[in-house]
Amino acid sequence: MTTDHSSPNVVLITGCSTGIGRATAQLLAERGWRVYASARKLETVTDLASDAITPLALDVTDEADCREAVEAVLRPAGRIDALVNNAGYGHTGPLEEIPLEDVRAQFEINTFAPLRLAQLVIPTMRAQRSGRIVNVSSVMGRVVVPFLGLYNASKFAQEAMSDALRMELSPWNIHVILIEPGSVRTPFYTRVAQYTARTLDNPDSPYRARVERALRLTGGQGLFAGSPPEKVAQVIHTALTARHPRARYLATWNARLTLMLLALPDGLRDWALRVGLGLEPSG
């Protein structure tokens, strides 16, 4: 990354309290990076503090926090080699029943915040004529699944912005890279459950039985238990260090499997998903 081999590469990572963000902070520190590991609650990352890792408070939906976090990296380090936009969550449930304020909140974190942080680091990266912006998306940014439509929409939008940014920033040797995991064993699914519970706890919801069946199959268990977060961290490391990084990395085996659904015509894919998720027969 940096051409100055006397000092380590500098990276800012969001959402390091648990899961993929935490594993990535630890791996990059082990590999000699200077890591700024951020989380919205500082106390959830203070245990990571070391010579290589500086914990930072950063709620990615807060403009002042975003500015201060980028400043907190640039002040001592004088540059920033990489931004890993990892913070995010999955809002599940039938689109008919999701309040619009929840829709906005999902986009604020998964879509708008990664763009805002990119906007804040790009001027420095342009001056350096180097930098990498890694956006942790999902295979759900490529394939739409019932009751995950809001999460899908936020990640599809993140993918579109990343693709555009990649082309816009190419004159300055700034690479924008998408990481697309399938299911990964993190607290992600526990957090997801709170949203699905709104449907399951609503006796009047016409979606209850189908959401329950889909959740039984996809709630982060069994085949969907997925890969460890360290596996995704390794893929992020590859994206940050490859001489010619790809535009997107499918980060887990189940992501590659899921993407195969795109080879099917729409009608057949809808049917395969409805049957696969236990939504047929309906009712």
Interface positions with ligand NAP (CB under 6 A) = 14-15, 17-21, 39-41, 44, 59-61, 86-90, 109, 136, 138, 181, 183-184, 186-188, 191, 226, 229
C-alpha 189 chain-centroid distance: 14
The tokens of 283 are what? 């009712």
> Does residue 231 have an active-site annotation?
no
Which one, 15 or 94, has the nearer CB to ligand NAP?
Answer: 15
> Does residue 41 have an active-site annotation?
no
Report, in Å, the least distance between residue 247 CB and ligand NAP: 17
Which one, 92 or 128, has the nearer CB to ligand NAP?
Answer: 92
Report, in Å, the least distance between residue 140 CB and ligand NAP: 6
Three-state SS string over the chain comes to CCCCCCCCCEEEECCCCCHHHHHHHHHHHHCCCEEEEEECCHHHCHHHCCCCEEEEECCCCCHHHHHHHHHHHHHHHCCCCEEEECCCCCCCCCHHHCCHHHHHHHHHHHHHHHHHHHHHHHHHHHHHCCEEEEEECCHHHCCCCCCCHHHHHHHHHHHHHHHHHHHHHHHHCEEEEEEECCCECCCHHHHHHHHHHHHHCCCCCCCHHHHHHHHHHHCCCHHHHCECHHHHHHHHHHHHHCCCCCCEEECCHHHHHHHHHHHCCHHHHHHHHHHHCCCCCCC
Which one, 55 or 88, has the nearer CB to ligand NAP?
Answer: 88
Which of 155, 162, 207, 227 is labelled catalytic? 155
Report, in Å, the least distance between residue 155 CB and ligand NAP: 7
Which one, 65 or 208, has the nearer CB to ligand NAP?
Answer: 65
Which one, 199 or 254, has the nearer CB to ligand NAP?
Answer: 254
Q: Which residues are paired to 83 by β-bridges?
A: 12, 133
Report, in Å, the least distance between residue 3 CB and ligand NAP: 30
Report, in Å, the least distance between residue 192 CB and ligand NAP: 9
Report, in Å, the least distance between residue 144 CB and ligand NAP: 14
Which one, 86 or 130, has the nearer CB to ligand NAP?
Answer: 86
Q: Which residue is nearest to ligand NAP (CB)?
A: 19
d(CA 221, CA 223): 6
> Does residue 155 have an active-site annotation?
yes
Active-site residue set: 17, 137, 151, 155
